[in-house]
Amino acid sequence: MQLHGAFMPKTLGDQRHDALIRYLIEKRSEAGLKQVELAERMKVYQSFIARLESGQRRVDVVELVKLGEVLGFDPTEIVDRLTKMSD
C-alpha cells in the first residue's frame, strides 16, 4: 500500500504486533478466561479470538478498548509500551 509516496509497512508479524498479541494472551490468561469465554464476553465467535491470538488478524482500536474493558486493563498502557518500541 502506498501512502503519499511512502510505503505503508505491513503490521501482521511486525515486532509491535507480536508484542501486542503476547500482551493480550497474557491478560486473558491473568483473567482466567479461555478463548471461548472471552469470545462470549466480547460477543464474537471463538474463531475471532483464535485468529487474533495466532497473529492472523489485526486488532483495531475499538476492539482494543473492548478487550481492555473485558480483561480489565487500560489500553493506553499497551499503546504506550508499543510506541516506545523501536522499529
Write down the pTM of the prediction.
0.84
pLDDT of amino acid 2 = 47
Any idea where the domains of the chain sit in the sequence?
Answer: 10-84
Q: Give the per-residue pLDDT at 4.
A: 52
Residues 6 or more apart whose CB falls under 8 angstroms from that of 39 comprise 45, 46, 48, 49
Fold for the domain defined by 10-84: 434 Repressor (Amino-terminal Domain) (1.10.260)
Residue 61 has pLDDT above 50, yes or no: yes
